């Protein structure tokens, strides 16, 4: 099994088609990717703060990983096999980004107020996350996974923003046991990954989850299939992802995600698309990642004949 670590190849803050690949693999290979946390390692103890004068960007990623045989118009199927914390702890915190995430309308600035500079270090041990005196389950997930987008379609994406190429979707279902499907726009696919979380709620409403450095073990397969948006699948559910963006509201993202799901249900299970749309109205669910990404989902038990 191959391994690549940010300690050896450095951190990236954009998903760019112009970066030199850090690793080349064949379809079907397994890889362990060691990633840093969303603060680039700046927060390790209570009292540490996010210092953007030293590290101006957030959500560092590792990549790109070049997949042999990948061409534009195909897709990568990335199975999440395991996510292991590397230092036994994670952190959640407030910084300038959290203020903008919570409200783009500058109410805090207008009122002369700020979120308090607050950091909470959370020990991760024996399948539990210790949020002070509150014990949370360890539910690891990958916050950022994506390919280099087409520059003319989405520009060079930062590690913070999601889109058709994936990116910072923060969908909790991108976890061990799930497979993420991503469209490809460049030769080699150019896969990036990072932003591991020990646990995250829907919406990630404070702007940060329990951010942790981790080893992410994945298996990457190349499929000759065209996708318009990312999708996720596990043993029990089928999901399609859509995001906000220029000209796309959150409502639009919900509609797009469901319509993509309905078309996938028709293609994969032979369910008439109009029946599928009605079925999603009764049994469909929405998983909110961050406030820019949603996954429409349905239990596969309804789809099997």
What are 195-251's pLDDT values in tens digits? Answer: 999 999 999 999 999 999 999 999 999 999 999 999 999 999 999 999 998 889 999
Q: Is 253's pLDDT higher than 80? A: yes
Domain ranges (residues) in the chain:
2-224, 235-302
Scan for tokens 């913070």, then name that residue.
Answer: 160
Instruction: Specify the pTM.
Output: 0.94
Average pLDDT in the 39-49 region?
92
Q: What share of the chain is helix, strand, coil (3-state, %, to 5)?
A: 20, 35, 45
Higher pLDDT: 137 or 152? It is 137
* Residue 158's pLDDT band (cuts 50, 70, 90): confident
Q: What is the pLDDT of residues 52-68, one digit of tens each?
A: 888 888 899 999 999 99
CA distances from 253 to 120, 257, 267, 301 (A): 32, 6, 21, 25
pLDDT of residue 110: 76
Domain 235-302 has CATH 3.10.28.20: yes
Q: Which residues contact 113 (CB under 8 A, 6 or more apart)?
A: none
For domain 2-224, give the CATH number: 2.60.120.580
**Burial of 125 (C-beta count, 10 Å sphere; 0-12/13-18/19+):** exposed
Q: What is the pLDDT of residues 174-193, one digit of tens each?
A: 999 999 999 999 999 999 99
Question: Taken in order 194, 200, 201, 203, is the CA torsion positive or negative?
Answer: negative
Q: Which residues contact 100 (CB under 8 A, 6 or more apart)?
A: none
């Amino acid at each position: 099994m191959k391994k690549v670590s940010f300690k050896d190849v450095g951190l990236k803050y954009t998903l760019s088609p112009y970066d030199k690949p850090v690793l080349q693999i064949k379809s079907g290979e397994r890889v362990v990717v060691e990633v840093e946390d969303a603060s680039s390692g700046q927060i390790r103890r209570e009292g540490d703060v996010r210092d953007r004068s030293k590290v101006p960007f957030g959500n560092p990623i590792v990549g790109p990983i070049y997949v042999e045989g990948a061409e534009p118009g195909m897709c990568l199927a990335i199975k999440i096999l395991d996510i292991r914390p590397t230092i036994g702890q994670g952190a959640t915190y407030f910084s300038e980004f959290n203020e903008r995430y919570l409200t783009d309308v500058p109410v805090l600035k207008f009122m002369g107020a700020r979120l308090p500079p607050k950091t909470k270090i959370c020990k991760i041990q024996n399948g539990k996350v210790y949020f002070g005196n509150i014990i949370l389950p360890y539910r690891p997930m990958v916050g950022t996974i994506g390919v280099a987008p087409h520059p003319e379609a989405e520009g060079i994406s930062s590690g913070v923003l999601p889109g058709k190429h994936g990116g910072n979707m923060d969908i909790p279902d991108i976890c061990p046991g799930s497979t993420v499907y991503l469209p490809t726009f460049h030769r080699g696919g150019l896969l990036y990954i990072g932003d591991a979380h020990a646990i995250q709620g829907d919406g990630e409403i404070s702007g940060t989850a329990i951010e942790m450095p981790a080893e992410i073990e994945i298996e990457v397969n190349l499929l000759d299939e065209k996708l318009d948006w990312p999708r996720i699948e596990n043993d029990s559910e089928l999901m399609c992802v859509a995001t906000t963006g220029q000209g796309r509201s959150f409502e639009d993202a919900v509609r797009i995600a469901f319509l993509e799901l309905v078309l996938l249900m028709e293609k994969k299970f032979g369910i008439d698309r109009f029946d599928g749309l009605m079925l999603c109205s009764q049994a469909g669910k929405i998983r909110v990642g961050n406030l820019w990404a949603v996954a429409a989902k349905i239990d596969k038990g309804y789809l099997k004949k």
